[in-house]
A and B are shown apart, each in its own frame.
Chain A
Amino acid sequence: MDLNSLTIHALSEKLSKKEVSSVEATKAYLERIGAVDDKIKAFLIVTADEALKQAEEADKRRAQNNNITPLTGVPISVKDIFCTKGIRTTCASKILAGFVPPYDSTVVARLKDAGAVILGKNNMDEFAMGSSTENSAFQKTANPWALDRVPGGSSGGSAASVAALECAASVGTDTGGSIRQPAALCGVVGFKPTYGRVSRFGMIAFASSLDQAGPFTRDTIDSAIMLKAMAGFDPRDSTSIDAPVPDYLSEIEKGVAGLKIGIPKEYFIEGMDAEVEASVREALKILEKEGAVLVPVSLPHTEYAVAVYYLVATAEASSNLARFDGVKYGLRVNESGNLLDMYKKTRDSGFGGEVKRRIMLGTYSLSAGYYDAYYKKASEVRTLIKNDFETAFKACDIIATPTTPTPAFRFGEKVADPLTMYLSDIFTISCNLAGIPGVSIPCGFTKENLPIGLQILGRPLDETTVLRAARAYERAAGCTLQAPAL
């Protein structure tokens, strides 16, 4: 029996039947990490000792039948953007050198409470800025399906760790597609909940009005399990929504009969990869066969989304990243003993190129004389984009699109040209600007055996319907776990 390839729900069943212990499962994953992570480089830190301790606890909990959830004893990993009490947290940046948070992020705390075992922390683009995980200050994560290609980003380490069977599930963050895009490129399920559904407390901020945490899993049922554990109002996050969290699992098998699926014409564009388009269209046919009604919709401001995103996100980032100043924690470079010089040298050597570029752009667009033309204008157009979705959702229940215009690209292919890299997020960005939920699920492979993702977007707080539709496709298409040969 291969423990590593099990879904959460399958492993959970074995754990509850005492066919396997959490310690055994944890050891199996730690071995797998030991065996393949040299090639994948999905982890920045593996916390084996803590994980085994948590596994023992989980086994005890199960033995005593004490507060058991489907996650109790299940080994997972988390993106290194989540603060973990007593465990160093880097956000893949040199500027956080040596930083050990005295608190857990709410996401981590809730997963621990549910009994999940945390194996370690995943690589990512520095401060979640990027679409390829090439912007990590420490290492490049490889796509498990093609080691010379990127896993996507910024949660590339999380996506790759699930695809490479190094954990049962992982948690990433999505500011402009950073969960859905790497999920698509790595062939796993990646879910971005409604903005405010999951607390951001303790999650290092990139763009506060867009950031949202979500799970990477092997199937949609696992997504529902993870989401249920993570979601809900948090008194420590004023932007978290105080609404009941539905029991996603009880609805998930209800199918799509009668469901109206909007197909936005702006998402099937010229220049997109033919194989990607074909796979996605094929997936839509399957959903139609399952009883869904496909309706054409329009999201007319889609072409402005990337521009809006790069102004809003960088403005917020320029402010969010001001706290990294060498005073309270992290790196300090202080050669001259002059304060201004210390600030500049610390931030210059602590931040990587992409982070600096975005801080520069954000600072500029907020600065005197440019605020109205850039930040304010972008925020107004954001309203138009949000309105587009509101209008579309009057005609449909969910919206289906490709997750990315192309499959995984090669290392270095887009780094030289930031704008081209930014444009690769074109299908995922609007969802964050509107604050709505979205998922990417595997919908086939290219001839080169690269995964392709189908994106499903829903109304605010309607994760239930998004999961239902994703599950219907998954079931009808007969998706079984696809694992790359490593």
Chain B
Amino acid sequence: MSITKKDVLHAADLARLELTAEEQDLYTEQLSRILNYVEKLSELDTTGIAPTTYTVPLKTVMRADESRPSLPHEEALSNAPDSDKDCFKVPRIIE
């Protein structure tokens, strides 16, 4: 399966990345080569093989429902690039 420039632009859009024309070409070429390489996985028949996401023993960890103090308000906003009205400030969302 080879990747087209349209696919690259779609992925960039989903990932909120702006690509220059140069990057679009570069990534189309590089991702194609990488995807060609990973194509070797299709040599393997994995029918009936369960996927692995977790390598640790499946033991659900749950906490007790107790609330603890949150971050002090100023600290919560201290890393924000922009804030106002006790909130994180962002460019207006057009709806």
User: Cβ of A380 and Cβ of B40 under 8 Å apart?
Assistant: no
Which of A134-142, A158-166, A178-186, A321-329 touches B?
A: A321-329
Which residue from chain A places its CB closest to the CB of B44 in the assembled complex?
A381
Q: CA A422 – CA B30 in complex, angstroms?
A: 12
Residue in contact with B41 in the complex, picked from A330, A343, A378, CB distance below 8 Å: A378
Does A382 sit at the interface, judged by CB under 8 A?
yes
* Chain B residues within CB distance 8 Å of chain A: 1, 3, 7-8, 10-12, 14-19, 23, 27, 30-31, 33-35, 37-38, 40-42, 44, 46, 49-57, 59-61, 63, 71, 75, 78-82, 88, 90-94
Chain A residues within 8 Å of B35, by CB: 361
User: Cβ of A307 and Cβ of B31 under 8 Å apart?
Assistant: no
* Chain A residues within CB distance 8 Å of chain B: 98-100, 102, 195-196, 209, 235, 238-239, 241-242, 301, 303-304, 306-308, 310-311, 318, 322, 325-332, 334, 336-345, 347-348, 351, 356-357, 359-361, 363-364, 367, 373-374, 376-384, 386, 418-419, 422, 433-435, 460
User: Cβ of A330 and Cβ of B56 under 8 Å apart?
Assistant: no
Q: CA A374 – CA B7 in complex, angstroms?
A: 15
Number of A-B residue pairs, CB cutoff 8 Å, is: 163
Q: CA A338 – CA B34 in complex, angstroms?
A: 34
- Consensus secondary structure, chain B interface: loop
Which residue from chain B places its CB closest to the CB of A434 in the assembled complex?
B55
Which residue from chain B places its CB closest to the CB of A196 in the assembled complex?
B56
If A242-B59, A339-B93 touch, whether A308 touches B51 (CB-CB below 8 Å) is: no
User: 6 closest A-B pairs (Cβ-Cβ)?
Assistant: A435-B55, A379-B51, A329-B79, A332-B81, A344-B18, A380-B46
Residue in contact with A386 in the complex, picked from B3, B52, B57, CB distance below 8 Å: B52
If A329-B79, A344-B17, A347-B16 touch, whether A380 touches B51 (CB-CB below 8 Å) is: yes
User: Cβ of B31 and Cβ of A361 under 8 Å apart?
Assistant: yes
Scoring B40, B51, B94 by chain A CB atoms within 10 A of each residue's CB, the highest score goes to: B51
If A330-B79, A332-B81, A339-B92 touch, whether A209 touches B18 (CB-CB below 8 Å) is: no
User: Cβ of B63 and Cβ of A235 under 8 Å apart?
Assistant: yes
Q: CA A291 – CA B73 in complex, angstroms?
A: 62
User: Cβ of A357 and Cβ of B44 under 8 Å apart?
Assistant: no
User: Cβ of A195 and Cβ of B56 under 8 Å apart?
Assistant: yes
Scoring A209, A339, A364, A376 by chain B CB atoms within 10 A of each residue's CB, the highest score goes to: A364
User: Cβ of A435 and Cβ of B56 under 8 Å apart?
Assistant: yes
User: Cβ of B56 and Cβ of A359 under 8 Å apart?
Assistant: no
Q: CA A471 – CA B1 in complex, angstroms?
A: 47
